[in-house]
Amino acid sequence: MTDVAAGVLALGVALFLGVYLVSVLDRFVSDLVAGHGLTANVFWAGPRRAVLLLLQQPSRTERPDAEAWAFAPALLGALGALGLATIPLAPELPLADNADGIVLFGAAMALVMVAVFLHGWSANSVFPLIGAYRFVALALSYEMPLALVLISAALPAESLSVGEIIRSQTDVWNVIRQPLGLPIYMVTVAGLAFWGPLRLPDAADLSGGTRAEVSGPALAAWEVGRSMVLVAAAAMGAAAFLGGWLGPWLPGVVWMGLKTLVLLVLIVWSGHHLARVRTERFVVVAWVVLIPLALIDVFLSGWLALAAR
């Protein structure tokens, strides 16, 4: 029982810290790229904005699917939390780490599609609707590579458990053993959290896309939920490819946090440097390049795992 309490507490702290870090990083990189000076504002901008949104009146369109509209951001956040729960942040903190950890993670990330689709569909407004359908196209394209690279990471571990996958990297991290894995995974992370070049459902050309009709607490919840998914996905990247808690001198949790941070910096940085790609072209590239590469990754990883036996 105390284990579970500690795990839940750690999960809560990790999520809170992660979401806050994403807001700080985003602001920091944005200021840096825009050529503004750096000020302490980066630390406060996110929380202040959240409080501001809590004071704003929620909006409603003419005839929305109100229940689904309210459900979508809550579901997105919960899926982020579930995704992070599958990852043991340290050897002694396995919350929902089980023999089928990456299947659970995959299920949580597959359900993100439901949350985003509902968010765009519910408003009964044309631009959110286009955003919703765009995300379905995006999600159907990145889901296969996402599952395949995680399966590759599971091959040397002979287990689908995230904890086992981390332990299997004691000698050499998967990022070296399976060089194709992390780059493909990072592309899918951008899709999962619709961040940066894959910010298709909430894009500027749709005037905010699925969030175009949202205001107030629901908008804050949507932003937080999206950051939670990003944090969960980055943590999974750290666990599956960068050896999770493994590392000398420092405690495991710190290593896990640092590695997640590196991936978060990478994805936030890309968000301010890479132009948004077009849905149609991404779909073609995902199927014609990413999935075959991921399948090759599976094969090569399997071969190496056999050779290492």
Partner 1 sequence: MGVTSHRGAGRGAVRDELRRAVGKIAAGSAVPVFPMAGVGGRDAARRIRLSRRLEVVSSPRAANVLLIAGEITPRLLRPAIRIHDQASPPRATLFLIAGGAPEPDVPSKPEAGSNTEVAAVESALRTHAIRDRFFPFAGLVHQESEVEAASRALHRDLVLAERATEPAIQPDRPPLPWRGRGPYGHGGKGMTGGAPYGRPLPERGNDRDGLQLDRLPLRIGPFFPPLVPGLLLDVELHGDVVQAAELGPNPFSGYVGASATCPFMRALASPVRIADLELSRARSHLRWLSDALHALDLSALSIRALALAERLEADNVPLISAELARFSRRLERSRTLTWATRGVGHIRVDQVGDTHGPVARATGVEADARCDDIEYLALGFRPIVHDDGDAWARWRQRIGEARQSLRLVTQAGDRRSGGAGIVEDPRGMIRLQTHTLDSTSQLLPELVTGREWGDAVLAAVSLDLDLERDARLTSVIEEGR
Partner 2 sequence: MTIGTDHAPLFADVLFWMLAVGSVLAGWRVFRADSMVRAAYWLLASFAGTAGILLLLHARFLGLILLLMMAGEMTIMAAFMVMFMMNPAGLNPMNMVHQHRTAIIAGVGAFLGLAAVGVFGEFPARPLLDASQVTADLGVELLGDSMMVFETAGVALLATMIGSIALAAHRGRFGPADEGSEPPALVPEAETVRPGDSRDEEQS
Partner 3 sequence: MITAGALLMVVGTTTIALLVLRWVGGAVRRETIPEPQRLPFLGGNPPTTHAWSRYHIRYYAMALLFLAFDMEMVFMYPWAVVFVREGTVALVEMLMFIVILLLGILYAWREGALEWA
Which residues here bind partner 2, judged by CB under 8 A? 1, 4, 63, 65, 68, 98-100, 103-104, 106-107, 110-111, 113-114, 117-118, 121, 124, 133, 136, 139-140, 143, 160-161
User: Which of 154-162, 184-192, 235-243, 251-259 is the region at the interface with partner 3 (rule: CB under 8 A)?
Assistant: 154-162
| Residue 277 contacts which entry, partner 1, partner 2, partner 3, none (Cβ below 5-8 A, type-dependent) | partner 1
| Residue 304 contacts which entry, partner 1, partner 3, partner 2, none (Cβ below 5-8 A, type-dependent) | none
55 binds partner 1 (CB under 8 A): yes
Residue ranges in 60-89 that form contacts with partner 3 under rule CB under 8 A: 60-63, 66, 70-71, 73-75, 77-79, 81-82, 85-86
Which tokens sit at 70? 């309210």
Shortest approach of partner 2 to residue 122 CB, angstroms? 9
Residue ranges in 183-242 that form contacts with partner 3 under rule CB under 8 A: 207, 212-213, 216-218, 221
Shortest approach of partner 1 to residue 143 CB, angstroms? 20
Q: How far apart are CA 16 and CA 88, in angstroms?
A: 16
Q: How far apart are CA 233 and CA 103, in angstroms?
A: 14
Q: How far apart are CA 129 and CA 291, in angstroms?
A: 27
* Burial letters 244-282, b for 16+ CB under 10 A, else e: bbbbeeeebbebbbebbbebbebbbbbbeeeebbebeeb
203 binds partner 1 (CB under 8 A): yes
* 73 vs 83, beta carbon nearer partner 1: 73
215 binds partner 1 (CB under 8 A): yes
Q: How far apart are CA 96 and CA 172, in angstroms?
A: 25
* 168 vs 270, beta carbon nearer partner 3: 168
Neighbours of 283 (CB within 10 A): 16
Residues 6+ apart with CB under 8 A from 292: none
- Number of residues near partner 3 (by CB under 8 A): 79
36 binds partner 1 (CB under 8 A): yes
Q: How far apart are CA 155 and CA 54, in angstroms?
A: 46
* 132 vs 256, beta carbon nearer partner 2: 132
User: Is 100 within 8 Å of 161 (Cβ atoms)?
Assistant: yes
289 binds partner 1 (CB under 8 A): no
- Interface with partner 1 (CB under 8 A), residue from 3, 9, 207, 284: 207
- Interface with partner 1 (CB under 8 A), residue from 208, 265, 293, 300: 208
| Residue 36 contacts which entry, partner 2, partner 1, partner 3, none (Cβ below 5-8 A, type-dependent) | partner 1
> By the criterion CB under 8 A, which residues form the site for partner 1?
29-36, 41, 44-45, 47-49, 51-59, 62-63, 126, 130, 133-134, 196-197, 199-200, 203-208, 211-216, 219, 272-281
